[in-house]
Amino acid sequence: MLEFRKRINVSTDLFVVKNLIGSILQGVGLAYLFPVLLVWFYPDQIEYVPYFAIPGMGCVLFGAWLSRHSSKVEDVNLRQAMIAAAFTWLFASFVSVVPFMRIANMSFVDSYFESMSAWTGTGLTMMSNLSSYPKILLFWRAWMQWLGGIGIVLVALTILIRPGVAAARLYRAEARSERILPNLVNTSKVIFEIYLALTLVGAYLYYINGMNPFDALTHAMTGLGTGGMSTHDQSIGFFHSPAINAITIFLMIMGAVNFTVHYKLFKSKSLKPFFEDIQVRYMFLFLIPAIAIIAYSLYQVGDSVGQALQGAIFHAVSAISCTGFQITSLSNYPEVAKFIIAILMVIGGGAGSTAGGIKLIRVTLMYESLKWTIESAILPRGAVIKRKVGNYVFSEEDIQEVMSFTMTYLAFILFGTVYTMLRVKASLANALFEVASAQGNVGLSIGITSPTMPVDLKVLYILLMWIGRLEIFSTLVFIISIAFLLPRVARK
């Protein structure tokens, strides 16, 4: 710890982090202003414009003031980038509470929960009777989820931050490591273009299958962004349409697939890269038995074969893609179905996608590393074992990092589950389900998450959503660094 303290240069850290945060907050401020354009289509909602325009402009101005010396930032280390990324998610959620507090008359904690859930692409909500709220507020939730899916930091890379080491550090700190093109800013632009194109395709498909334009756009945004916030209390189940269910499954899978795969699909105009990707293969490897078990459990409690299969397929995909859309209430699902869905939420989607969870590549690597360990015990001493999964080659350091991450992730899941069980007297399956949904940034709920839940549990879920979105280590670095920095700043 003493060595760690010596390595921290307080003034340098504050200068670098302040400028990084300032640049990103300008992007957050611009995002705040976008819902104002909705007034063009819904002029009766002009009264709500100040709740977006004022905090949006304030965020832009504050960000510009913080980043006024950004041209002097020559290099950024990973710790500084992690602090900036972690703080940005906290602050973006903080400044986004105004519409919820002023328009929906929600408390600060409930509003912060809602904005954190939106920005992190989680989808758990404190709101009900959604059709009674102004469309500008419902769009705000969807817009935050769409941006949160691609990442606040990634959007900032595309628009605001100059190319170079600073951008690369922020990109990694926001839990992304895939590069489509050698230049990081070009990579960000390509990802953004693919993301936008798929969103528009999804909105069009929804529209021609019966959704009104507003619902089509918002559900496409939250489907591809794997956020899952709907404009209706019954979520996708409101529409009672097999076609809309199928489109939603398509969008959820697209959102859970590595964007490198999307780029290869667009470039080659072939589906071959999709089915060759190791994470896609493992996604379906997990989905097939999970769907079978869930469907059988639903059939056992009285659902028809068709109902059981439809519910199992939709909710299994919703869980592993970390989207959170539902077509029926999950509170009455059998315990075994809840448990299987919870496991899928913990596994999550592909690395380099908008999904949360541990990520498929990590789960795959843990399975493969077990095989390598057995092989090393059987093969003669000195035998070379190539640690390769699909097109990914891993070192011992990579494997150790994955193991450390997974154990830490599961430790947080365990703590949250036990705390929920003790706090609201929930069963193990129900508590695990809700905590896995919060930390995995999923949004599926069996009813524990509501405005009536204890305040301390709301705060815990807010922290779990934040921790899960930044994949734990950035948040831990942020907390530890702040714990060391604040006393030293106070002494100065």
- What DSSP assignment string belongs to 172-232? HHTT----SSSSHHHHHHHHHHHHHHHHHHHHHHHHHTT--HHHHHHHHHHHHTT----SS
207 pLDDT above the threshold of 60: yes
**Which carries the bigger pLDDT value, residue 249 or residue 154?**
249
CA dist., res. 476 & res. 462, Å (int): 15
Task: Give the mean pLDDT of 32-59.
Answer: 92
361: its two tokens = 């590549």
DSSP state of 68: T
Tens of pLDDT along 286-298?
A: 999 999 999 999 9
Please provide the size of the chain in residues.
Answer: 492
Report which of 438, 406, 442 is spatially closest to residue 419, judged by C-alpha positions: 438
481 pLDDT above the threshold of 90: no
Q: In Å, how far are 61, 62, 79, 252, 464 from 55, measured between CA atoms?
A: 10, 10, 29, 32, 26
Task: Collect all residues with Cβ–Cβ distance below 8 Å to 285 and sequence separation of at least 6.
Answer: none
Say what percent of the chain tops pLDDT 90: 53
Identify whether the C-beta of residue 27 lies closer than 8 Å to the C-beta of residue 96. Answer: no
Q: Which amino acid is at 283?
A: M
Q: Which amino acid is at 46?
A: I
386 confidence band (pLDDT: 50, 70, 90): confident
**Burial class of residue 7 (count of CB atoms within 10 Å of its CB; 0-12, 13-18, 19+):** exposed
Tens of pLDDT along 69-126?
A: 665 555 666 777 777 778 888 888 998 999 999 999 999 999 999 999 999 999 999 9
CA dist., res. 206 & res. 200, Å (int): 10
What is the CA angle 45-51-54, rounded to 5?
125
DSSP state of 67: T
4 confidence band (pLDDT: 50, 70, 90): very low
Report which of 150, 90, 140, 85 is spatially closest to residue 118, judged by C-alpha positions: 140
Collapsing DSSP to helix, strand or coil, 161 comes out as coil
437 pLDDT above the threshold of 90: yes
pLDDT of amino acid 479: 82
488 pLDDT above the threshold of 60: no
**Which carries the bigger pLDDT value, residue 369 or residue 416?**
416
CA dist., res. 280 & res. 436, Å (int): 21
Q: What is the mean pLDDT of the chain?
A: 85
Q: How many CB atoms lie within 10 A of CB 18?
A: 18
487 confidence band (pLDDT: 50, 70, 90): low
Identify whether the C-beta of residue 231 lies closer than 8 Å to the C-beta of residue 131. Answer: yes
CA dist., res. 359 & res. 372, Å (int): 20
CA dist., res. 324 & res. 86, Å (int): 23
CA dist., res. 280 & res. 341, Å (int): 18
Tens of pLDDT along 116-169?
A: 999 999 999 999 999 999 999 999 999 999 998 887 556 555 444 545 555 555
- Return the C-alpha torsion angle 335, 339, 345, 346, nearest 10: 150
Identify whether the C-beta of residue 255 lies closer than 8 Å to the C-beta of residue 225. Answer: yes
CA dist., res. 352 & res. 341, Å (int): 22
Identify whether the C-beta of residue 363 lies closer than 8 Å to the C-beta of residue 316. Answer: no
3-state secondary structure 317-365: HHHHCCCCCCCCCCCCCCHHHHHHHHHHHHHCCCCCCCCCCCCHHHHHH
Tens of pLDDT along 440-468?
A: 999 999 999 999 999 999 999 999 999 99
CA dist., res. 143 & res. 221, Å (int): 7
Tens of pLDDT along 211-228?
A: 999 999 999 999 999 899
Identify whether the C-beta of residue 32 lies closer than 8 Å to the C-beta of residue 96. Answer: yes
In the block, tokens 């397929």 appear at 313
Q: Which amino acid is at 300?
A: Q
Helices (H), 34-77: 50-66
Domain ranges of the chain: 2-347
1 confidence band (pLDDT: 50, 70, 90): very low
Strands (E), 354-445: 388-389, 392-393
